[in-house]
Structure 1
Amino acid sequence: MDPVAYLFSAYLNTIQTVSYNQLSESMGTDISAVVIEHEGVSVPFQFQMWKVKDNSVCANFRQNIGAYSECTVKASELFSKLCSSLALKHDQDWRYKKTKNMYCNAAISYKPTIAHISTATEESEIQRVKKECNSSTIEAMGSNDLRKVNKRDTNCRKYHDLKNRSKE
């Protein structure tokens, strides 16, 4: 390839790349990943075409419902705060407007997952006695030990008595 053709080819390639990058940026066609720290919680999400992809928000926390819930609540707060703060400034730059609209739309449309995890309630007396009956029954199975058989009979009698009283 002669030097002039090579130079012209390089020039066209540069113009084409710059034009594609500018078009891609203005249209927002590429998926962009973002992680913003908000009140001590990292809030990861993706956006494309200047819209937050709801299913990507806090996606890496999905295996831990407690952390996922906290992250999605923080994400919702973050989108609202970003919308409010960006709305205060009246910048005419197209990127600013697109960013503001993206966060304001996310503040309106994004719904966090709210989960409250707590310990199980204490088991009732009848549940406890039923477990004792079941475990002593298993211990007594196939055993000739009279103590295990008597323990089973006593525990199961308690269970059946409680069960019958609760029906009355």
Structure 2
Amino acid sequence: MDPISYVFSAYLNAVQTGVETHFSESRNIHVTPVEIVYEGETIAFQHQIWRIRDQSVCGNVRQDLQRFSKCTVKAKRLFGALCSELSQGASQDPKRARLRTMYCNASMSFKPTIASVGLATKTNELDSARQACNAATIAAMGSREPAVLRKKKELCEAYEAMKAAR
């Protein structure tokens, strides 16, 4: 390749790369991962084509339900805060306008996961009697033994008596 062709090829390659990079960034074609620390929590998410991918929000803690729930609630607040911040003051920057639209849309459409995990409450006597009657009924369905049928009758009568007393 002669030197002039080489220089011309390098020039075209540089222009093409610059145009392609500018196009990709302005259109937000590629999936873009983001991590923001907000209220002491790292909120991780991805966006593409100026839309936040809901399934990616807090994906780094999805395996821990309580942390995931707390993270998604904070993410919803983060999107609202970013929307408010980017909405203040007029700006001619098109990227800022796209970010504002993206965060404002997310603040309205993103649904956080609300979860609360705790100890099961103690069952009362009536619930225990009902469960015993149900278990005996199931056991009696597949049996013709008099002892099993008698036990079912006793447990279910005790449950019915408790229920009637209330």
Q: Does TM-score exceed 0.5, indicating one fold?
A: yes
SS, match of residue 35 in structure 1 = strand
Taking structure 2 as the reference length, the TM-score comes to 0.76
Question: 2:52 is matched by which residue type in structure 1?
Answer: V
- Aligned match of 2:43: 43
Q: Structure 1 residue 60: deviation in Å?
A: 2.4
Identity value in percent: 42
CA distance in 1, matches of 2:85, 2:163: 62
- 1:76 corresponds to 2:76: yes
Q: How does 1:132-151 map to 2 (within 5 A)?
A: none
- The one of 140, 145, 162 equivalent to 1:166 is 162
Unaligned runs of 5+ in 1: 131-157
Q: Structure 1 residue 160: deviation in Å?
A: 7.7
Taking structure 1 as the reference length, the TM-score comes to 0.75
Question: 2:69 is matched by which residue type in structure 1?
Answer: S
- Aligned match of 1:20: 20
CA distance in 2, matches of 1:167, 1:108: 48
CA distance in 1, matches of 2:48, 2:107: 16
CA distance in 2, matches of 1:79, 1:17: 33
SS, match of residue 36 in structure 1 = strand
1:12-42 CA-to-partner distances (Å, cap 9, x unmatched) read 1111000000011111111100011110111
CA distance in 2, matches of 1:119, 1:4: 78
Q: Structure 1 residue 3: deviation in Å?
A: 2.0
CA distance in 2, matches of 1:125, 1:78: 47
CA distance in 1, matches of 2:99, 2:87: 10
- Aligned match of 1:91: 91
Question: 2:113 is matched by which residue type in structure 1?
Answer: T
CA distance in 1, matches of 2:160, 2:97: 71
CA distance in 2, matches of 1:82, 1:21: 26
Q: Structure 1 residue 125: deviation in Å?
A: 4.3
- Aligned match of 2:146: none
CA distance in 2, matches of 1:167, 1:96: 65
- Aligned match of 2:7: 7
CA distance in 2, matches of 1:78, 1:21: 29
CA distance in 2, matches of 1:60, 1:17: 33
1:81-139 CA-to-partner distances (Å, cap 9, x unmatched) read 010111112111111111111111111111111112221001334739x6xxxxxxxxx
Unaligned runs of 5+ in 2: 133-153
The count of corresponding residues between Structure 1 and Structure 2 is: 147
Question: 1:38 is matched by which residue type in structure 2?
Answer: Y
Question: 2:162 is matched by which residue type in structure 1?
Answer: S
Question: 1:166 is matched by which residue type in structure 2?
Answer: M
SS, match of residue 36 in structure 2 = strand
